[in-house]
Amino acid sequence: MVKMISQTTIDNVFETARVEEVIGDFVVLKKSGSNFKGLSPFSDERTPSFMVSPAKQLWKDFSSGKGGSVVSFLMEHEHFSYPEAIKYLANKYGIEVEETERTDEQKEKATQKENLFIVSDYAKEYFHKTLLNVEEGKAIGLSYFKERGFTQETIEKFSLGYSLDKWDAFTNTAIKKGYQLEFLEKTGLTIVKGEKQFDRFKGRVVFPIQSMSGRTLGFGGRILTNDKKAAKYLNSPESDIYHKSDVLYGLYQAKSVISKEDNCYLVEGYTDVLQFNQSGIINVVSSSGTALTPNQIRLINRLTKNITVLYDGDDAGLRASIRGIDLILEQGMNVKVCTFPEGEDPDSFAKNNSIEVLKEYLNENSKDFITFKANLLVKVADNDPIKKANTVHEIITSISKIPDDIKKEIYIQECSRLMNIEESTLYSSLAQKLKKQNKELSKQLQKKNVPFNVISSEKQSFKKVDHQFELEKKIIELLLIYGVKEEEFEEISIEINDEGEISHTSEIIKSKVFEKIYLDLQEDETEFANESFKEMYQLIIKELNTSQNFKAERLIRKLPLEKAELITHILFDSERYELHNWTGREIYVKDKNQTISQVVSETIFNLRRYLISMKINELAKEIKNIKDESLKKETLKETLEYTALKKLLSDKLNRVL
């Protein structure tokens, strides 16, 4: 039997966790009225469409359609299982996790990804304990880190480790502990060849690579011997949980400081990150020796728009910096570059200088990308006209990557000043470059049968509004927000005499909102046309009838992801769009300053009025095809009765018929 988290712990986590605090660890959020806004962590966007509601304790990403509770965010963003998300939040808020027994059948349902994470977490702890407690680990691994100048605090903070210099020491220990060879192999921790198994990181110091939330994704290992046949650094292979182009070393430790300082330092290696952290500069991450990728840049972009690239003073480092700059510019970020004196790198410079000297050096030597690139390429040109022309084209290529037109203009002016070239010439070159890029993009899209228009001169076609859909959605919204509120309603009784004349009486009654809506729709024998709303309506009514303390966020906890996203979308749409827009769509709903009873009554009246209009149209079509005069007369009478009823509703709504 295996443990599962108790319901008491789950309830405690939901009551304690604050969605804005948790999501704020992963996304830069800015106050927007009563809500928070930020860039979507699920899509590449430059205009914030990601909303977080502290009042509702919900989030909604309008660019991807995702949304839900604090737990669903962690499941979507960090690919946590439900129990892992609960444990993460419990740990964040200091909540004790109570567990109950879980059956073997439930254990089997654990996903493969969960098993990979579990194995990786075990490996991190194993390597760390080996470094600190085993004689070989202390003598070789710990000594290496101490010689590099790393303190015990840094070693603990980054869970640095050591893998014994034996072929299968880790693998055998893990298997004895109950970890399956299948998952040891899939994480890349163990190499399997036939019947033999080998430890991938044998005889290496180990750097755990963590996600933004601290999950162990993979490892980097550095060999300590002079074996020329072995790679100096070795990383975990690609797996279901580790994609090297999507992770940055040190981001877990740096994320909050990056957001606070509104700047991120980007370095090349593991030890660069460690040494900067130890010096007191925490907002630093590393691409772990791999070429910088767009996905890595987007990770930083969620936390800050400002990035400072730190490189060695050698030629290889400078060339790498130029390649990375264009990628960063494409993401709309502000880039600075800082190089260190010849023979120095971020690791050695931070180690050999005080925090004051390091900060001063970074401030004085961090140059805007255009200044850096111009100075670098001018040196290469060496007064050669052809090389100088190529240099200008290189700089224009970088400027063309910038999405912001104002920034483009500023950089053109700066380039003109530095290179002593007319602005008009540079603008002409930029225009040619952009035209060429658009042609290339057009060709790529045409190959995929995707139309490409830079500027469309045609009028946009607008989708006709589905009135019933909007009104049914409004009813769901009212149930979610006001369902349990008790209000005074005007109850209208309608009578039709033999002559087809309509009369009505009214009285004031007290009722809960959900009871009023339910009884009115029952009386009209009205069913929802939209299947999703119909299912959601029945579910909400049932929950309102049985729950003593109904809250939308509590309902969301119980729902599958797609249903939770539907409810979240409805709740956030009520805040995203002003109700006066409805009037333009001929959907008349009172704004939120009116009483709840008025909003509910008007929504029901509007739905009735809409359905009656549909019925009148239907009868009008029938009359055209009826040849029997008596039947035609009867149908015409029914039409007039519906028309009179529609007029009554219009009068109550103060609408023109």
pLDDT-wise least confident of 172-176, 211-215, 335-339, 372-376: 372-376
Looking from the CA of 172 toward its CB, the CA atoms found within 13 Å total 7
Quote the pLDDT of residue 7: 82
Residue 220 and residue 77 in one domain: no
Residue 213 and residue 272 in one domain: no
Q: Is 451 part of a structural domain of the chain?
A: no
Quote the pLDDT of residue 453: 43
Q: Is 459 part of a structural domain of the chain?
A: no
Q: Express each pLDDT in 496-521 by its tens digit.
A: 666 656 666 778 888 888 888 888 88
Q: Is 72 part of a structural domain of the chain?
A: yes
Q: In sequence order, what are the residues at sequence separation of 6 or more whose Cβ sits closer than 8 angstroms to the Cβ of residue 440?
A: none
Closest CA to 530 of 607, 446, 612: 607
Closest CA to 26 of 8, 40, 5, 36: 40
Q: What is the CATH number of the domain that holds 375?
A: 3.40.1360.10
Q: What is the CATH number of the domain that holds 98?
A: 3.90.580.10
The amino acid at 298: R
Residue 99 and residue 167 in one domain: no
Q: In sequence order, what are the residues at sequence separation of 6 or more whose Cβ sits closer than 8 angstroms to the Cβ of residue 106?
A: 2, 4
For CA atoms 36, 37, 40, 41, give the dihedral sign: negative
Residue 426 and residue 487 in one domain: no
| Residue 57: φ, ψ to 5° | 60, 45
Q: Which helix (H) or strand (E) holds 98?
A: none
For CA atoms 351, 353, 359, 364, give the dihedral sign: negative
Quote the pLDDT of residue 313: 63
Domain extent for 394: 251-442
Residue 412 and residue 523 in one domain: no
Residue 158 and residue 81 in one domain: no
Residue 473 and residue 616 in one domain: yes
Q: Is 456 part of a structural domain of the chain?
A: no
Please tell me the total number of residues recorded for the chain in this structure.
657
Q: Is 575 part of a structural domain of the chain?
A: yes
Residue 467 Cα distances to 463, 570, 587, 611, angstroms: 12, 16, 7, 10
Q: Is 449 part of a structural domain of the chain?
A: no
Q: What residues does 413 pair with on adjacent strands?
A: none
SS3 at position 18: coil
Residue 426 and residue 489 in one domain: no
pLDDT-wise least confident of 34-48, 381-395, 437-451, 545-559: 437-451
Q: Is 457 part of a structural domain of the chain?
A: no
* Helices and strands counted in the chain (H then E): 29, 20
- How many domains, in total, are found in the chain? 4
A 10 A CB-CB count for 531 gives 8
The C-alpha atoms of residue 23 and residue 17 are separated, in whole angstroms, by 11
Domain boundary among 87, 108, 129: 108
Q: Which helix (H) or strand (E) holds 129?
A: helix 112-133
Quote the pLDDT of residue 403: 84
Quote the pLDDT of residue 657: 35
The amino acid at 625: N
Q: Which of the 8 DSSP states describes residue 245?
A: G
Q: In sequence order, what are the residues at sequence separation of 6 or more whose Cβ sits closer than 8 angstroms to the Cβ of residue 179?
A: 118, 119, 122
Work out the mean pLDDT of the chain and round it to a whole number.
82
Residue 493 and residue 405 in one domain: no
SS3 at position 497: coil
pTM of the entire structure? 0.65
pLDDT-wise least confident of 270-279, 341-350, 565-574: 565-574
- Radius of gyration over every alpha carbon of the chain, rounded to an integer in angstroms: 33
Separation of CA 545 from chain center: 35
In the predicted structure, residue 592 carries a pLDDT above the cut 80: no
Residue 367 and residue 409 in one domain: yes
Q: Express each pLDDT in 66-124 by its tens digit.
A: 888 899 898 888 777 788 889 889 988 888 888 766 555 555 545 688 889 999 999 99
Residue 334 Cα distances to 167, 328, 498, angstroms: 47, 8, 78
pLDDT interval class at 586 (50, 70, 90): very low
How much is the average pLDDT of 249-258? 91
How much is the average pLDDT of 292-307? 88
Domain boundary among 76, 108, 140: 108
Residue 143 and residue 237 in one domain: yes
Domain boundary among 71, 92, 108: 108
The C-alpha atoms of residue 528 and residue 552 are separated, in whole angstroms, by 20
Q: Is 454 part of a structural domain of the chain?
A: no
pLDDT interval class at 446 (50, 70, 90): low
Closest CA to 373 of 398, 353, 349: 398
Q: What is the CATH number of the domain that holds 177?
A: 3.90.980.10
Query: Which residue, chain included where needed, has tokens 């969620």?
Result: 302
| Residue 117: φ, ψ to 5° | -65, -40
Q: Which of 42-46, 172-176, 523-527 has the highest mean pLDDT?
A: 172-176
A 10 A CB-CB count for 193 gives 7
> To 10 degrees, what angle do helices 596-625 and 467-482 make?
150
Closest CA to 97 of 204, 180, 11, 209: 11
The C-alpha atoms of residue 454 and residue 481 are separated, in whole angstroms, by 43
The C-alpha atoms of residue 91 and residue 89 are separated, in whole angstroms, by 5
Q: In sequence order, what are the residues at sequence separation of 6 or more whose Cβ sits closer than 8 angstroms to the Cβ of residue 130?
A: 136, 137, 141, 161, 162, 163, 164
CB 487 within 8 A of CB 475: no
- For 173-229, where are the E strands, in sequence order? 190-193, 196-199, 204-210, 216-223
How much is the average pLDDT of 401-430? 87
CB 129 within 8 A of CB 94: no
Q: Express each pLDDT in 342-399 by its tens digit.
A: 889 999 999 999 999 999 999 999 988 878 877 777 666 667 788 778 888 888 888 8
pLDDT interval class at 238 (50, 70, 90): very high
Residue 184 and residue 144 in one domain: yes
The C-alpha atoms of residue 610 and residue 469 are separated, in whole angstroms, by 11
